[in-house]
């Protein structure tokens, strides 16, 4: 009976983790529209997430938030907020960024830049079988991890926005010491960005 209850608990935990994973993906690639009564604007927001699987790259992830602020039909601004996490031993990210639309290079004018070193501590656990055949989880030690987090914000120019509208491919480019970091905007994310740009 105890083993059956433990198996059911394990299946439940696994299902919860799968649901959380899918819901995170669902929310990170949705266009959200909100009214901002403080600034009398309509805010249209899209969040995208890129995790780098290349072990040679210093990039851990890039999270982007595109925010279109609309006052009226002829008064709209598109802002971009980047959060990049780099491996601890990488060089500091240079205070420059570029968007490459098809083969055209657009330097991005950085409005704000923030740099932060983040330390995470995680407990290592091990299951131990007790004398009455129950499993007990015991903390066996702790592991620390470090990462460099950089946050940039930009206002995208009308020329750049017009190029994105008709583009087939969009990349972000950053530099950290000897490393050149390039992030390709995937097809679905690019389509969503074009949808956001066309929202009025």
Q: Which residue has the tokens 């509208």?
A: 165
CA separation for the pair 113, 110 (Å, rounded): 7
Whole-number mean pLDDT of the chain?
A: 84
CA separation for the pair 134, 130 (Å, rounded): 6
Q: Where are the alpha helices (H) located in the chain, listed in sequence order?
A: 2-28, 158-165, 187-198
Structure tokens at 100: 């490459």
Q: What is the pLDDT of residue 8?
A: 47
Identify the structural domains of the chain with CATH numbers, from first to last: 31-120+149-198 (2.60.40)
DSSP code of 91?
Answer: P
Taking a C-beta distance cutoff of 8 angstroms, is the pair 4, 11 a contact? no
Q: What is the pLDDT of residue 24?
A: 38
Does the pLDDT at position 199 exceed 70? yes
Cβ neighbours of residue 175 closer than 8 Å, sequence gap 6 or more: 93, 94, 96, 181
pLDDT digits (tens, 9 = 90+) for 24-72: 333 467 999 999 999 999 999 999 999 988 888 999 999 999 999 999 8
Highest mean pLDDT among 71-75, 126-130, 192-196: 192-196
- How many Cα neighbours within 13 Å face the side chain of 192? 22
Greatest distance between any 2 Cα atoms in the chain: 74
- What is the chain's length? 200
């Amino acid at each position: 009976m105890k083993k059956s209850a433990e198996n059911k608990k394990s299946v439940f935990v696994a299902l919860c983790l799968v649901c959380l994973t899918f819901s995170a993906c669902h929310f990170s690639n949705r266009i959200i529209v909100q009214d901002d009564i403080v600034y009398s604007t309509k805010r249209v927001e899209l969040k995208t997430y890129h995790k780098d699987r290349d072990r040679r790259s210093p990039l851990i992830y890039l999270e982007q938030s595109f925010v279109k602020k609309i006052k009226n039909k002829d008064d709209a601004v598109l802002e971009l907020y980047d959060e990049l996490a780099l491996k601890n031993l990488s060089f500091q990210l240079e205070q420059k960024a570029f968007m490459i639309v098809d083969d055209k290079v657009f330097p991005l004018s950085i409005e704000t830049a923030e740099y932060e070193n983040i330390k995470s501590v995680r407990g290592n656990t091990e299951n131990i079988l007790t004398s009455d055949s129950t499993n007990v989880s015991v903390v066996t030690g702790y592991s620390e991890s470090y990462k460099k987090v950089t946050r940039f914000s930009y206002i995208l120019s009308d020329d750049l926005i017009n190029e994105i509208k008709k583009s087939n491919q969009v990349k972000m480019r950053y530099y950290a010491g000897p490393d050149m970091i390039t992030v390709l905007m995937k097809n679905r994310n690019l389509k969503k960005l074009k949808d956001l740009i066309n929202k009025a």
